Amino acid sequence: MKIVYTVQELRQQLSSYRKTEKTIGFVPTMGSLHEGHLSLFETAGKENELVVASIFVNPAQFGPGEDLEKYPRDLDNDKMKCRNCGVDILFLPDNHEIYPEGFVATVVTKLFNMVQPDRAYFGEKDAQQLAIIRRMTADLNMPVDIISCPTIREENGLAKSSRNAFLSQEQRTRAGILYHGLKTAEKMIRDGEKSPEKIKDMFRRMMEHSSDITVEYIEIVEADSFRRLQSINGKVLIGIAVKLGTVRLIDNIRVSASEVY
C-alpha cells in the first residue's frame, strides 16, 4: 500500500495507472475505521482493479457544539486496517491540501477531482449525505458511479459509527433501542399505518424510557426525493438523529409494502 499526502503525489501515482484503462474504486473516510468502512473497502476491491482510500477529518462536517478536536483518531490502526483490506493507495491530506488559502468547497467534489475514480463507495447510514452526493454528481455530470453499501450494525442493531467510541459500554448496549424503534416503525407501516405523525409519536415515546436520550428529529420522507409526506405510500425512508448523553447518533431504514432496504 502506498501512502500519499499531497494532490501532486496522488496524481503521480494514478497517472500511469490510468493509461491501462483499469477501473479505480474510491472510499472517502474520516478515519477511526470500523467494520462499516472495511465492508466498503471489500466491495470496492471486488469491483475494481485499484482501490484508493482517503482519511480526512473534515471540519466542515462538525456542527456548533461538536468538538472537532475530540473526534476519535487512530491513524496507525487505520493504516493497518487499510493495508489488510487491500487498499492500494491511502491519501492522507491535511486541511491546507483540501482547503488551500482558506478556499472552501464541497470536500467530496474536491476529492473526486483529485482521485478521478470510476466508482465511489458510501454507507447507507448517512442517507442524506448519500442523496446529496448523488444529486451533485448528476448536476455536475461527474463521470463517477456512486455505489451505496448496507449499514453495518452491532449485534443489538446499533449502526457502526466512529462516534460510538464516545459511548460507555452501558450506553452502547442501551443504544440498541434506536434500531428497535426503527423496526417498530417498519412494522407499523407494514401493518397499514399511513400517518407519519403516529409513527413519530411512537418513536419518541420509546425513547422516553431512556432518560439520557434526546430526539433531535425523526422524519419520514419519500425514499428517492426526500420529500416530506402527509400520508405514507410507496417506498419511504425513516431517518432519525438523537443525542445519547453528549454523543449524536444517526440512523435510517428504508421501507416499502414489500421489502426493506
User: How does pLDDT run across 50-72, given as a tens digit for each residue?
Assistant: 999 999 988 877 776 677 788 88
Domain with CATH 3.30.1300.10 in the chain: 162-255
**pLDDT, mean of residues 235-253:** 94
As a residue count, the chain comes to 261
The enclosing H or E element of 253 equals strand 247-255
**pLDDT, mean of residues 24-47:** 96
Lookup: cell for 5: 499526502
Model confidence band, residue 99 (pLDDT cutoffs 50, 70, 90): confident
Which ranges of the chain does DSSP label H, i.e. alpha helix? 7-18, 35-47, 75-84, 95-98, 107-115, 127-139, 169-174, 176-190, 196-207
Which ranges of 70-175 does DSSP label H, i.e. alpha helix? 75-84, 95-98, 107-115, 127-139, 169-174
Domain with CATH 3.40.50.620 in the chain: 2-149
Mean pLDDT of the chain: 90
User: How does pLDDT run across 140-198, given as a tens digit for each residue?
Assistant: 889 999 999 999 999 999 999 999 999 999 999 999 999 999 999 999 999 999 999 99
**pLDDT, mean of residues 121-128:** 93
Model confidence band, residue 23 (pLDDT cutoffs 50, 70, 90): very high
pLDDT value of residue 16: 81
If DSSP codes are grouped into helix, strand and coil, which group holds residue 215? strand
For the domain bounded by 2-149, which CATH number is listed? 3.40.50.620
**Known catalytic residues?**
37
Query: Has residue 257 got a pLDDT over 60?
Result: no
Superfamily designation of domain 162-255:
Pantoate-beta-alanine ligase, C-terminal domain (3.30.1300.10)
User: How does pLDDT run across 129-139, given as a tens digit for each residue?
Assistant: 898 899 889 88
Rounded distance between C-alpha atoms, residue 207 and residue 227, angstroms: 25
